[in-house]
Amino acid sequence: MDRAQIVHQNFLDRVAAGALPPKGAAAGAGEKAGLAPETAVAIYRAQVLSRALDITSRAMQKAGQGFYTIGSSGHEGMAAVARALRPDDMAFLHYRDAAFQIARADQVPGQRIAWDMLLSFACSSEDPTSGGRHKVLGSKALMIPPQTSTIASHLPKAVGAAYSIGAAKRHAPEHRILPHDGIVMCSFGDASANHSTAQGAINTAAWTSVQSIPLPLLFVCEDNGIGISTKTPKGWIETSMSARPGIKYFKTDGLDLYQAHAVAQEAADYVRRRRKPAFLHLRTVRLYGHAGADVPTTYLSKSEVEADEANDPLLHSVRLLQEAAALSPAGGSEDLYRDLCPRGEDPRRGGDAPASQIRCRGGGQPDPANARL
Amino acid sequence: MLQHGEIVMMGEDVGRKGGVYGVTQKLHQRFGSDRMIDTLLDEQSILGLAIGMGHNGFVPMPEIQFLAYLHNAEDQLRGEAATLPFFSNGQFTNPMVLRIAGLGYQKGFGGHFHNDNSLAVLRDIPGIVIACPSDGAEAAMMLREAVRLAREEQRVGVFVEPIALYPMRDLHGEKDGGWMRHYPAPDQSIALGEVGQHGAGEDLAIVTYGNGRYLSAQAQPELEARGITSRIVDLRWLAPLPAEALIAATRGCKNVLIVDECRTTGSQSEALMALFAEQSDIATARIAAEDCFIATGPAYAATLPSKDSILAAALDLVGENA
């Protein structure tokens, strides 16, 4: 069976049975208090929508209507990071950050993020990001410049954009778009952190910071422990990044939306107030393998794949929301999932907008039901 | 920089030192450290700084010290700067004028790295503008246009400055001052796609750029002495190739000789041969640098077109088609 289907079924079965994954380094009461229940639920909703879109993108590809299957599943903790930032903080995103973009869209009025992302999957000429040129995260309104981000080549410009905030304070260009108290965020995976381009950018940020030149930049490393099929050595990111001069290191668990939000907030506050770079190390898992055509069980043991699947961040979120009395599974988190993820059961059946019809509906105009997704 | 407060320059040594060849001298005193940014030794970071500042309304003019140093950072141009308007359907832009000191003919310093004579790595990037001036006055006027393109059209431009022409004063003999120029008035500029034409002879049009124009200008009187009337057509803008202007500037000529200081493989001469084959009936030939790296020391010009080789190629071509 397809891993996406397995993960989907796992979710339904385990929520129904109340067999939720145990807490890791669980969030303290303070962290939970820092996040209003409605915001926590909004984060969960963004996480589920991200998952639903992953499932849909695969269904669309099978139907010959979608052209990109690298998903964000396992990285849904980025929704909590988005909520720790302001929507006018420019974000150069990792390609697994659909949950970030969805959560940010919730912070900006007038967005129709699900529809926009579906247009992007379809490479529709109506895709508001690229006009159908590529399936890429990005949005002018959300201050997310689109780019490929596969080899960390977006990190040097994130350093440049962060530098420009201080420079614009002294000489504001007529067409300045970043606010003076803004920060810049860039995210990347644990594997691409090894790229010389990433290392160069991190080095440049440190070199700049130790000279007390303002550089409000938040690096976010989404550590799922593997780059396509090559594992990251245990503790590699932490040992190599935690003691860089001029860059403050923060570590958190992306499976725990409360903790991720609290630590991301702390890191963002540090960057915003001190105008210095920080490195946020976010633990994630990777579900479904690298991309649609990648079968992770060819290079990982079944038990390793299943261990990650058992740590599905959505299951953790269901537990955490229940513990925080923000949303109970029955009539709450489970229903929300069932509402958004019907296509996991059968992409051509169920739900009010089967993937195979998405492009046809309303002649390209978002159906209100879809726009709400 | 006086006119446009949003212009910032960045690179290794652009500030206090005034650039690798002194092009930005004294700008640091005039405009300060925040507009003349001395960076660390990392070309990806220099271009990243420029791209990032471009996102926030600045018009960056980064300097890369040599063409060879572009290569380790080229993805920042190819994969990032040039693609942003494409990926964002024009919603995001990162305009810049990237200055690179480059090309061959530099006596006494260099070799295969510092005098790299290939622009192939730039030529095929969709959307970028490549400029290569051939004298001081044109450099100033073309730079104004490159800045205008960055400011008004948000273009990514690459301005390749022939190192060997920086100190050039004489053309035919010592102290003749034949390559000295007056600084052009601030309102003068050379538009994108506008080629230069020197002479109006019809026996031969030499189509060239950069150092090739200088060498061809040296050869021109000797051609004249042999009864061959000629004109030099200076490309100035290597990309997008000014096809129409080139066809117009060579119309009525009996022969076209393409002189390209870059290596035969991957050089502009390939595109020019294709252009004249497809769009004109004029007899066309080319000389280009050999497919070999450049040596340090006395052999620095061994692989490159020279006044003599231009002359010989011109006589061959015109003789064949007399």
Map chain B to HEC letters: CCCCCCEEEEECCCCCCCCCCCCCCCHHHHHCCCCEEECCCCHHHHHHHHHHHHHCCCEEEEEECCHHHHHCCHHHHHHHHCCHHHHCCCCCCCCEEEEEEECCCCCCCCCCCCCCCCCHHHHCCCCCEEECCCCHHHHHHHHHHHHHHHHHHCCEEEEEEEHHHCCCCCCCCCCCCCCCCCCCCCCCCCCCCCCEEECCCCCEEEEECCHHHHHHHHHHHHHHHCCCCEEEEECCEEECCCHHHHHHHHCCCCEEEEEEEEECCCCHHHHHHHHHHHHCCCEEEEEEECCCCCCCHHHHHCCCCCHHHHHHHHHHHHHHCC
CB contacts of A133 in chain B (<8 Å) are: 86-87, 89
A360 falls within a domain = no
Q: For all residues of chain B together, what is the average pLDDT?
A: 96
Domains in chain B: how many in total? 2
Q: Based on the domain organization, do B159 and B33 belong to the same domain? A: yes
The partner residue sitting opposite B52, judged by closest CB among A157, A203, A207, is A157
User: Lowest-pLDDT range, A147-156, B34-43, B119-128?
Assistant: A147-156
B225 falls within a domain = yes
A242 falls within a domain = yes
Phi, psi angle pair for B53, to nearest 5°: -70, -35
- Of B146, B165, B184, which residue sits at a domain end? B165
Reduced to 3 states (helix: H, G, I; strand: E, B; else coil), residue A106 is: coil
Question: CB A177 to CB B56 under 8 A?
Answer: yes
- Give me the domain span that covers residue A9: 3-344
A372 falls within a domain = no
CA-to-CA separations, A123 to A136, A355, B114, in angstroms, rounded:
10, 14, 43
The partner residue sitting opposite B52, judged by closest CB among A134, A138, A161, is A161
Q: Based on the domain organization, do B119 and B255 belong to the same domain? A: no
B175 falls within a domain = no
CA distance B285 to B316: 10
Please give the share of chain A, as a percent, with pLDDT higher than 70: 90
Cα of A122 to nearest chain B Cα, Å: 15
Cα of B116 to nearest chain A Cα, Å: 23
Q: Based on the domain organization, do B136 and B272 belong to the same domain? A: no
A358 falls within a domain = no
B239 falls within a domain = yes
CA distance B86 to B179: 41
Q: Based on the domain organization, do B139 and B67 belong to the same domain? A: yes
A349 falls within a domain = no
A68 falls within a domain = yes
A80 falls within a domain = yes
Q: Based on the domain organization, do B124 and B234 belong to the same domain? A: no
Cα of A346 to nearest chain B Cα, Å: 32
Reduced to 3 states (helix: H, G, I; strand: E, B; else coil), residue A231 is: strand
Reduced to 3 states (helix: H, G, I; strand: E, B; else coil), residue A118 is: helix
Q: How confident is the model at residue A25 (pLDDT cuts 50, 70, 90)?
A: low
Q: What is the pLDDT of residue A151?
A: 85
The partner residue sitting opposite B91, judged by closest CB among A90, A140, A158, is A140
Question: CB A170 to CB B34 under 8 A?
Answer: yes
Q: What is the pLDDT of residue B218?
A: 98
Phi, psi angle pair for B253, to nearest 5°: -80, 150
User: Lowest-pLDDT range, A130-144, B138-152, B265-279?
Assistant: A130-144
Within an 8 Å CB–CB cutoff, is residue A177 touching chain B?
A: yes
Within an 8 Å CB–CB cutoff, is residue A137 touching chain B?
A: no
Within an 8 Å CB–CB cutoff, is residue A245 touching chain B?
A: no
Q: Based on the domain organization, do B16 and B157 belong to the same domain? A: yes
B181 falls within a domain = no
B240 preceded by cis ω (within 30°)? yes
Write the DSSP symbol of residue A225. S
Question: CB B57 to CB A176 under 8 A?
Answer: yes
B189 falls within a domain = no
**Per-residue pLDDT for A344 more than 60?**
no
A368 falls within a domain = no
B191 falls within a domain = no
Q: Based on the domain organization, do B148 and B15 belong to the same domain? A: yes
Q: Based on the domain organization, do B131 and B219 belong to the same domain? A: no
CA distance A99 to A282: 14
Q: Based on the domain organization, do B126 and B238 belong to the same domain? A: no
Q: Based on the domain organization, do B310 and B212 belong to the same domain? A: yes
- Give me the domain span that covers residue B221: 196-320
| CATH classification at residue B144 | 3.40.50.970
Q: How confident is the model at residue A149 (pLDDT cuts 50, 70, 90)?
A: confident
CB contacts of A171 in chain B (<8 Å) are: 5-6, 8, 34-35
B190 falls within a domain = no
| CATH classification at residue B214 | 3.40.50.920
Beta strands A226-227 and A230-231 are antiparallel
B291 falls within a domain = yes
Contact criterion met (CB below 8 Å) for B100 and B160: yes
Write the DSSP symbol of residue A305. H
Q: Based on the domain organization, do B213 and B287 belong to the same domain? A: yes
Report the residue of B87, B94, B156 to disrupt the A interface, i.e. the one with the largest count of A CBs within 10 Å. B87
Q: What is the pLDDT of residue A30?
A: 67
Among B45, B128, B117, residue whose Cα is nearest residue B83? B128
Which chain B residue has its CA at the smallest distance from A140's CA?
Answer: B91
**pTM listed for this prediction:** 0.93
Domains in chain A: how many in total? 1
| CATH classification at residue A197 | 3.40.50.970
Cα of B22 to nearest chain A Cα, Å: 24
Q: Based on the domain organization, do B219 and B301 belong to the same domain? A: yes
